[in-house]
Structure 1
Amino acid sequence: MNLELDSRNTHLLNSLIRMYIEQGEPVGSRTLARHSQLELSPATIRNVMSDLEDLGLISAPHTSAGRIPTAMGYRVFVDSLLKVDSLGSPFKAVESSLSEDTDPSTLLARASTMLSEMTQFAGVVMLPGQTVSRLKQVEFVSLNDKRVLAILVTADGRVQNRVLLTEREYTPSELIEAANYFNDLHGGSTLAEVRKKLVLEMRSAGEKMHNMVQTATTMAAELLAEEENDGGDVVLSGQENLLNVPELCQIDKLQKLFNTLRAKQDLLDLLDRSMKVSGVSIFIGEESGYESLGDCSVITAPYESDGEVIGTLGVVGPTRMSYGQVISVVNVTSKLLSTALSTKSA
């Protein structure tokens, strides 16, 4: 957005938004005159506020003579006025939580929790899906009664287990041979690519397929079908914090918001869009494209494993938030999670 604001208007908009974020009350001209550090009369400031209102940057609530920022005003604030806060000492808490020796699934859950605890809003982490998760290896373990434990490990460290029912008993050597064949052929491919290849192999080979190849292909196809059903989810933490936000306290607003968080699909779509952008993305109010998030801001950043973007994390909160702090928390968490996941997959 390219609005022509002179230095005086810019300073007063900045001051008004900071005061509103801190106090949560509409800001009047007299209050702004006292705190703006400009030697301007309340009448002059009223004229400036009128100009800012005409530009759609601030608005007047029905019950107050003061003004509050609009989504457009927050956008100008974030894009041109904001200085991102240094995370300081809380950085060590995030670093400690995400650097301990633990499995990737736990790391993702911890990241969501840390985002929530550090901001007192809702933390969200989108799990890697089949389009980005790459196969590291599969393993088949013989159980009994024609059952095989199939284990799938992705490059980002996630592990998927499933017990498969087979038409006959398999020896351990047969299962090892089948797994080795499959890993040599498909290791390093995304799970989505592997599934497509398996479908083509099964269609083209049919009954002529070698027993060992057929065993590996059939078992892996069943396992990947299970993985597909489990993928594309989010880890959500701290949504109850939003109950304490005055701007969201209306029952109908809360109901729509919590329905969106519970259903997850709109949130997943938003996070998926964020994966295509490097660095922090900020969706303010209606910018998300979803009515239920109209009074919210969503701050997101992608995270990686070994240099490849595999998911997105972020914070869902009210439009009245400390943007500098939240942006810093999201940015640092994404970087620390990326480092931890890359270490796990090494």
Structure 2
Amino acid sequence: MNGTPITELSARAREVFRVVVESYLGTGAPVGSRTISKLASLNLSPASIRNVMQDLEEAGLLAAPHTSAGRMPTESGLRLFVDGMMQAALPSAEEQAAIEGRARGGGTIEEALVATSMALSGLSACAGIVLVPRREPVLRQFSFVPLNAMQAIAVLVGTDGTVENRVVDLPPGMPPSALVEAGNYMSTRLAGLNLSEARGRMDEEIGRGRAALDLASADLVARGLAVWSEDGAARPVLIVRGAANLIDATASADLERVRQLLDEIEGKEEIARLLDMARGAQGMKIFIGSENKLFSLSGSSVIAAPYRGGDGQVVGVVGVIGPTRLNYARVVPMVDFTAQALTRLMA
């Protein structure tokens, strides 16, 4: 039977189960009764340990892969261990300093999120993932720089100091004065607004005949706002770093699983939807293997925690993706600490 409560296991069964899980998480190999008898102070013979392991297998907590005499935890067994038996180890002072240092290393918020996910990936030996806050840039200044007769570069300066460029197609015969007029209008009339608000104000002012723009300049303003809005809608909201960590020493024995996992990570929209499930959580969310359809084939785990903005509302999610054979006791509190660091950064 699956879903066995920890309280229904005898003290002997709990200890054997704990040793099997911890050994498997450390080595990735099935654990035999002889190994357990040497690792644990159980005062049980290998035959007695085999009987206990058989009971745990019938309870759906252990499994014997292939013809191996050893046992390994099932996904249900890992869930029982994580929820009821795991003793979490807080990140070391060095690990905390590394995460905090990347989070506060300067630059834009997105650059800090990238750096933090890289730090988390390196420390956990997993792929680091961050769901970026969905926010539009707020305009401070806008200008158009002619590139050639058919194109111009739209330069957006945000209120946070970020500068980004996009190429805008120009209609035939667009005079250079229209670029200057359009840039001045946007910088003067649309400053302090995000892109959606800016488009709304522009439409309203043009509709009422208050835009004080000629047709060429009005068309250019519309083109500039459109290219930024379309780009923002298409921009991935998920940052993934350290996917190479998933190809570990055991990968050669299961190349198909690794290939499947890397394919799943490429589907960022699917992972973003998965992480969205953690947005409403008050704390950590742990998805083990087939508990989520996305990773049912690769047998992977996701550990994720929400982080908050200055108003206390959840703005994103940070976490890791790795094999089900994770050091959960170490990685879970590490993800939690990273979420706290990002919350402090966003405050």
Map residues 1-346 of structure 1 onto 2, 5 A cutoff. 1=3, 3=5, 4-8=7-11, 9-88=13-92, 89-128=94-133, 132-144=134-146, 147=152, 149-151=154-156, 153=158, 160-164=164-168, 169-170=177-178, 175-176=183-184, 178-183=186-191, 186=193, 194=196, 198=199, 202=203, 207-211=207-211, 219-232=224-237, 234-246=238-250, 249-291=253-295, 294-306=298-310, 307-342=312-347
Shift of residue 295 of structure 1? 1.7
CA spacing shift, 1:273–1:154, aligned 2, 3 Å: farther
| Aligned partner letter, 1:178 | M
CA distance, structure 1, for counterparts of residue 38 and residue 332 of structure 2: 29
- Post-superposition offset of 1:59: 0.1
Task: Calculate the aligned-residue CA RMSD, in Å.
Answer: 3.2
Deviations along 1:70-125, whole A, 9 cap, x unmatched?
Answer: 11110001011112111112211222222222222321221121122101222222
The AA in structure 1 aligned to 2:139 is Q
Structure 1 window deviating more from structure 2 (281-290 vs 221-230): it is 221-230
Q: CA deviation at 1:319?
A: 0.8
Q: In 1, Cα distance between the equivalents of 2:331 and 2:70?
A: 26
Q: So what's the TM-score if we normalise by structure 2?
A: 0.81
Using the TM superposition, give the Cα deviation of residue 134 of structure 1 relative to its aligned residue in structure 2, in angstroms: 4.8
| Aligned equivalents of 1:242, 1:271: Cα separation in 2 | 19
* Unmatched tracts of structure 2, length 5 or more: none
Would you say the 8 A contact 2:145–2:179 is kept in 1? no
Q: List per-residue Cα deviations over 1:203-261 (Å, max 9, x = no partner).
A: x77754422596766643432122112243x3222222222141674232222222222
Whole-angstrom CA distance in 2 between matches of 1:35 and 1:273:
39
Give 1:229's aligned amino acid. Answer: A
Name the CA shift for 1:149/1:290 in 2 (closer, same or farther; >3 Å): closer
Aligned length: 329
Contact 1:297 1:317 in 2 (8 A): yes
What is the percent sequence identity of the aligned residues?
Answer: 29
Length-normalised TM-score, structure 1: 0.81
- Tell me the SS of whatever aligns to 1:244: coil
Work out the CA distance in 2 between the residues paired with 1:273 and 1:158.
30
SS of the equivalent of 2:8 reads: coil
Checking the alignment, whether the CA contact within 8 Å between 1:248 and 1:318 is kept in structure 2 is: no
Q: 1:143 is paired with a residue of what secondary structure?
A: strand
Are the counterparts in 1 of residues 106 and 112 from structure 2 also a CA contact under 8 Å? no
SS in 1 for 2:21: helix
The answer (yes or no) to whether the contact 1:280–1:331 under 8 Å persists in 2 is yes
Report the CA distance shift for 1:247/1:66 in structure 2 as closer, same or farther (over 3 A). farther
- SS in structure 2 opposite 1:211? coil
CA distance in 2, matches of 1:312, 1:279: 10
1:171 CA displacement: 8.0
C-alpha distance 293-98 of structure 1, shift in aligned 2 (>3 A): farther
Distance 1:107 1:287 in 2: 31
Specify the structure having the higher radius of gyration (Cα): 2
SS in 2 for 1:316: strand
State the alpha-carbon separation in 2 of the partners of residues 60 and 153 from structure 1. Answer: 58
Change (3 A) 1:78 1:209: farther
CA separation in 1, counterparts of 2:55 and 2:252? 28
Cα distance in 2, alignment partners of residues 183 and 248 from structure 1 = 55
Counterpart code for 1:211: A
Q: Distance in 2 between matches of 1:278 and 1:159?
A: 35
CA contact (8 A) 1:288 1:294 kept: no
- CA spacing shift, 1:291–1:123, aligned 2, 3 Å: closer
Superposition deviation, residue 297 in structure 1: 1.0
